[in-house]
Amino acid sequence: MLDFTYAVSTKVLFGKNKIERLDQEVEKYARSILLVYGSESIKKSGLYTTVTSLLDKADIKYVELSKVPPNPRIENVREGIRLCKEQGLEFLLAVGGGSVIDCAKTIAAGLYFDGDPWEMFLHGDSVIKDALPIGTILTIAATGSEMNGNAVISNLSTEQKLAIHHDVLRPRFSILDPTYTFTVPPNQTAVGIVDIMSHVFEQYFSPTADAYVQDRLAEAMLKTCIYYGPLALKEPMNYEARAQLMWTSSLALNGLLGYGKVTDWATHGIEHAVSAAYDVTHGVGLAILTPWWMEYVLSNETVEKFATYGRNVWNLSEKNNQIAAKKAIGKTREFFKSLKMPTTLRDVGIKQEKLNSMAKQAVFLGNLGKVKKLGEQDILAILQNAF
Toward a second copy, which CB reaches closer, 259 or 292?
A: 259
Determine if 253 is a binding residue for a second copy (CB under 8 A). Answer: no
Please write down the long-range contacts of 341-347, taking CB distance under 8 Å and 24 or more positions apart. 341/190, 341/191, 341/194, 341/283, 341/284, 341/287, 341/288, 342/284, 342/287, 342/288, 343/287, 343/288, 343/291, 344/288, 344/386, 344/387, 345/274, 345/288, 345/383, 345/386, 345/387, 346/387, 347/288
Q: What's the angle, vertex CA 353, arms to CA 348 and CA 356, rounded to 5?
A: 100
Stretch that binds a second copy, among 1-9, 35-43, 320-328, 374-382 (CB under 8 A): 1-9
In the range 138-157, which residues lie near a second copy by CB under 8 A? none
Determine if 180 is a binding residue for a second copy (CB under 8 A). Answer: no
For residue 274, which of 353, 133, 151, 161 has the smallest C-alpha distance?
161
Determine if 304 is a binding residue for a second copy (CB under 8 A). Answer: no
Q: Which of 259, 278, 293, 335 binds a second copy (CB under 8 A)?
A: 259
Task: Show the site string, 5-44: x = touches a second copy by CB under 8 A, - = not.
Answer: xxxxx-xxxxxx-x--------------------------
Q: Which of 119, 240, 334, 347 binds a second copy (CB under 8 A)?
A: 240
Toward a second copy, which CB reaches closer, 126 or 315?
A: 315
- How far apart are alpha carbons 51 and 377 in whole angstroms? 49
Q: Which of 220, 303, 323, 365 binds a second copy (CB under 8 A)?
A: 220
Determine if 227 is a binding residue for a second copy (CB under 8 A). Answer: yes
Q: Which of 190, 217, 274, 359 binds a second copy (CB under 8 A)?
A: 217
For residue 340, which of 274, 378, 284 has the smallest C-alpha distance?
284
For residue 320, which of 334, 304, 331 has the smallest C-alpha distance?
304
Rg for the chain, CA atoms, rounded: 20
- How far apart are alpha carbons 164 and 121 in whole angstroms? 6
Toward a second copy, which CB reaches closer, 237 or 340?
A: 237
Instruction: Count the residues of the shown chain that bind a second copy, applying the rule CB under 8 A.
Output: 38
Which residues in this chain contact a second copy in the complex, by CB under 8 A? 1-9, 11-16, 18, 178, 210, 212-213, 216-217, 219-221, 223-224, 227-228, 240, 243-244, 247-248, 251, 256, 259-260
